[in-house]
Amino acid sequence: MKNKKKVLITGVAGFLGSHLVDSLLKKNLYVIGIDNFIGGYEDNVSKNIEFHNIDCCDLKKLNSIMHGVEVVYHCAATAHEGLSVFSPCEITKNNFQASVSVFSSSINNGIKRIIFCSSMARYGNQKIPFHENQNTEPVDPYGISKVAAEKVLINLCDLNNIEWVIAVPHNIIGPRQKYDDPFRNVVSIMINRMLLGKPPIIFGDGKQKRCFSYIDDCIFCLERMLDSPEVNKQIINIGPDEEFVSINEIAKICSNITGSNLEPIYRKDRPKEVKEATCSADKARKLLNYKTTTSLFKGIEETFKYIKKRGAKEFDYSKLNLEIKNSLTPEVWLKKEL
Ligand SMILES: NC(=O)c1ccc[n+]([C@@H]2O[C@H](COP(=O)([O-])OP(=O)(O)OC[C@H]3O[C@@H](n4cnc5c(N)ncnc54)[C@H](O)[C@@H]3O)[C@@H](O)[C@H]2O)c1
C-alpha cells in the first residue's frame, strides 16, 4: 500500500467520481476520496478507498489529508446549470469556492497534476460545435463559476509550476447518476418519472438539442489524463459529436425503453437555456484516442436498467433550496410538480 501512487478524487459519492474511483483502483492506485453528500448516493462510495466526509470548501481538513498525494481529480460540484440562475449562492460556493480550496490545498501539498472537471456551459450560446480554442462565453452562474475556477486553476498552477488539465464533459448518462434530483439530469428524470407512471415534463418546445455521452466513454478519457504528458496544460472536450438529438427525441427513446406511452407535458422555457449545444471531439480523438463505444440508445437502456433495479423514487427537494423565487422561476420547481 505504501508504494502505491496516491490519487485524490473529490465527489466520489457522485456519478462521475464513483466510476473514476473504480477505474483508478483497477490501475492499482491508492485512492483517497472526498464527498459531503450534497449530491450523489452514499452507496456510490467504494469500500476500497480511504474516504473522508469533508466539504471541499474546508481548507484545513483538506490540508490534513493531502499529504503524499500526487494527482488530484476535482470532480465535486453542484452540477446544476438550469438551477444556477435561481440558486446562485449554493451553486457558486460548490463550484467556485470549493474548487479554489481544492486547488490551494493541492498546491500547498506539492501535488504534481490537477485534473479539473469543467463543463460545456463554459461555451454558452455560441456557434456549434464548440471547440476548445473558442472564447468562453458562459450565460449562467454555473458556467461562470466553472470558467472562474478554470482561470484560478491555470493562474495558480502556472505560477507554481504544477501540471493541469481541464476536462470538459457534457451530458453524461449511465448507472449511478442521481435520478431523484428534480433539478438536473434529464434522461434519468424522465426514466424515473415514467417508472413512477408519470409523463415526462419538458421545458420549452423540446427542440433544444444536445449530444449525450455514456459514462464509460467519459471515464476512459479521464483515466488517460492521469499522467499523459501530451495533455498537460490542455483543455479537452470529452464526449461524442455524434447523435445530436432533441429533448423531444430523448423523451421518445425513454418511452420506448420504459414502455411508457404517456405524452410529454410542456412547460415554459427555462431562462438562459442554451438551444443547441454540442462539442467537437476532434482534440479528444487526437490526444486521448477518444472513441464513442456506446450508442445513445444503449446508454439510455443501461441507465434505465440501473434505475429500475434500484427502484423508482419520489423526487427529493431537500438538498438544494430555490434562493430566488419570482415569476421566472419554473412553476414545476415552485410547486414541486416533479
Ligand atoms: N454529469 C454530467 O453530465 C456533467 C457534464 C459536464 C460536467 N460535469 C462535471 O463533472 C463533475 C461530476 O459531475 P456528476 O455528474 O458526477 O455530479 P454528481 O452530483 O453526481 O457528483 C458530484 C459530487 O460532488 C459532491 N459535492 C458537491 N459539492 C461538494 C462540496 N462542496 N464538498 C464535497 N463534495 C461535494 C456531491 O455530493 C456529489 O456526490 C462536476 O464537476 C460536473 O460539473 C458533469
Is this prediction's pTM over 0.85?
Answer: yes
Q: How far is the CA of 83 from the centre of ligand 1 (A)?
A: 14
User: Ligand 1 mean position to 17 CA, how many Å?
Assistant: 7
* Domain 6-172+214-238 coded CATH 3.40.50.720: yes
Q: Which helix (H) or strand (E) holds 168?
A: strand 163-169
Fold equal for 6-172+214-238 and 174-210+242-278+293-318: no
pLDDT of residue 271: 86
Average of per-residue pLDDT values in the chain = 96
pLDDT for residue 303: 98
Question: Is the pLDDT score of 261 beyond 90?
Answer: no
Percent share of the chain, pLDDT over 90: 94
Instruction: Give the C-alpha separation, 41 to 63, whole Å.
Output: 25
pLDDT at 264: 94
Asked about 142 being catalytic, the answer comes back as yes
Q: Are 278 and 211 in contact (CB under 8 A)?
A: yes
> Helix 247-258 crosses helix 186-195 at what angle (to 10 degrees)?
40
Q: What is the pLDDT of residue 45?
A: 98
151: Cβ contacts below 8 Å, ≥ 6 apart: none
- Which atom of ligand 1 is closest in space to residue 173's alpha carbon? 3
pLDDT at 338: 87
Specify whether the CB–CB gap between 97 and 62 falls below 8 A.
no
Q: Is the pLDDT of residue 2 over 70?
A: no
| Mutation test residue for ligand 1: of 75, 168, 300, the one with most atoms within 8 Å of CB | 75
Whether 44 lines ligand 1, by a CB cut-off of 6 Å, is no
* Homologous superfamily of domain range 174-210+242-278+293-318: UDP-galactose 4-epimerase, domain 1 (3.90.25.10)
Q: Is the pLDDT of residue 274 over 90?
A: no
Q: Where are the domains of the chain?
A: 6-172+214-238, 174-210+242-278+293-318
Q: State the pLDDT at residue 194.
A: 96
Q: Which atom of ligand 1 is nearest to the CA of 56?
A: 32
- Pick the atom of ligand 1 nearest to 18's CA: 16
Quick check: 104 pLDDT over 90? yes
38-81 tens-digit pLDDT: 999 999 999 999 999 999 999 999 999 999 999 999 999 999 99
Residue 319 CA, ligand 1 centroid: distance in Å: 14
The active-site residue out of 30, 73, 142, 290 is 142
- Is the confidence at residue 283, as pLDDT, over 90? yes
- Ligand 1 pocket, residue 79 CB under 6 Å: yes
pLDDT exceeds cutoff 90 at 272: no
Of ligand 1's listed atoms, the one at least distance from the Cα of 74 is 41
Q: What pLDDT does residue 1 have?
A: 59
- Residue 209's DSSP bridge partners are 246, 276
